[in-house]
Structure 1
Amino acid sequence: MSPTHRPGGPPLRLGTRRSLMATTQSQAVADALTERTGAAVELVGVTTYGDVTTTHLAQLGGTGVFVSALRDKLLADEIDFAVHSLKDLPTAAPEGLALAAVPARDDHRDALCARGGADLTALPPGARVGTGAPRRVAQLAAIRPDLAYVPIRGNADTRLGKVASGELDAVVLAHAGLRRIGRLAEVTEVLDDDRMLPAPGQGALAVECRADRPDLVELLGALDDPATRRAVTAERTVLAVLEAGCSAPVGAYASESGGRLDLRAAVIAVDGTDRVRMEMSADVGSAAELGRALAERMLERGADALMGGKPR
């Protein structure tokens, strides 16, 4: 291990988006790394294109808009490592960078936050539900086609504020993010997998650094959770084989049981009227192969047509 990474050496520079949620999850990673290795860490705020654009993320394809600036800082050696929400990462492997760790996953599910404590069934017809994700709109529309789904942007506080002000009747957000910023009290219903499959990688974090720093890759590896890495590998392989961006109406979730990896995935028409939903299982050592096999079966069933044809 180089002197840079010994206890008492210069702190490692952890690049993070500047939002409360991003800095909170990055600080948790920094604290865990210090606890496990003794390495000092300092946070470096980075503004990404996704933070400043006024264009709706679904129109941008979503993929990479929160990631590229952090990766540029890594390659320029202005930061030592970066923490991303794993669901924001493009599926293509970045040249020159390594996914050094995937820490243990938080809750993968989506959560409804509605005025008056309402759950999804109690919302009145025509209620305005805010969400920026076609995946969520598609699955919600399949359950409640009588609701009005409103595209929204902004951080969790901004979105929750639209409910408190009466502008919206409810919003749907990631349960993990709400926990990280201490807003679970505003959750009125946690949406189970049978109704709402999460985005591939939702609830998990990704820790990246330069691939040409093997000492740092090894150090950050202390944070890796093999079971989480296997699960998200299967989920993200589905996304890659479907050639769908992170804003496409694709949900996937994998979990382990008895030495097997169980994977469920769905592609849903944006209006919720049609879907291809399938599941498969394989040995835990075959995560990527499982994701590929399931995605190929979904394409045989017409999944690409539900996405409007392959976007790339």
Structure 2
Amino acid sequence: MKNDLQTDRACLEKEKGMLVMKKFCRNGIILLLAGMMMLCIIPAQPVMAQEKAYIYMDTLKPVKSGQYTGNEGDSFVYTIGQHQYTRGNTDIYGNSYTHGIEAWIARWNYTPEISWAYSTYNIGNKYKKLEAKLVLIDSYNTTNFDTTLYFYGDGKLLKKYRMTPSKIPFKISVNVAGVKKLKIYVKDNKAVSGGTSFGIVNCKLYKSQAPKKPVITNINKKKGVITGTTSKSVTVYANIGTTTYSAKSDKNGKFKIKTQKIKNGTQIRLYAKNKYKQKSKVNTVVVY
């Protein structure tokens, strides 16, 4: 009798242990599934879009314009396809363009004359070069013209391109580093009749950045040597009193400027310039 009771008790304990194990396993699976669900619903981090290295010229509006007025006076240099007298945005080969500048050079249909137009844009010394393609927009005269496209930066001629039927289309590139106001001027070299529309298409202005503010890492007062870091391949200037010293930074941005002996209390003004004439912020230090 006693043995039977012990056996029954052992069986009950065993069944109880199995129930506990089942419950533990079941809870473990639930926890595991919950963890997996939490992993699945963690929101993805947004990817920051990189800023483009250029802008399209047609996103800017002219600050000044002018044109030949000897005929109807409807010549212009403006965003392609958007002027009231536009000849459209399609070239003589059927290619259409979303971005670009149109230069419509109006002439009397039966009387030869020299016509011209220009527009000036404020680009604010923010860009290093302009790149585009010159095409002929489908218009009246696409076979008999001799015209030049001029680019002026702050009143100075940067580059010019002669345009004749046999030369177009072709690509152009203009250095606009340090330019605040860019003038696009189109003028005939010889008198012809019938207007011509030129497209300066996919016209991009590539951005340039000012150098980083120079940081001094060491000053050897006895030898008169200033070392530090800034942007790579720029010219670093050190103003000490009325004298300016300079040196080029290397490919890693490190520089070493040799000066006169430096006394305690001397003020040094450091700044850097790149090849596009852009200037960094000034770092002013006093030596002790």
TM exceeds 0.5? no
The structure with the largest helix share of the pair is 1
The structure with the largest strand share of the pair is 2
Relative contact order, higher structure (CA 8 A, sep 6+)? 1
For Structure 1 versus Structure 2, the TM-score category normalised by the shorter chain is: under 0.3
TM-score (norm 1): 0.21
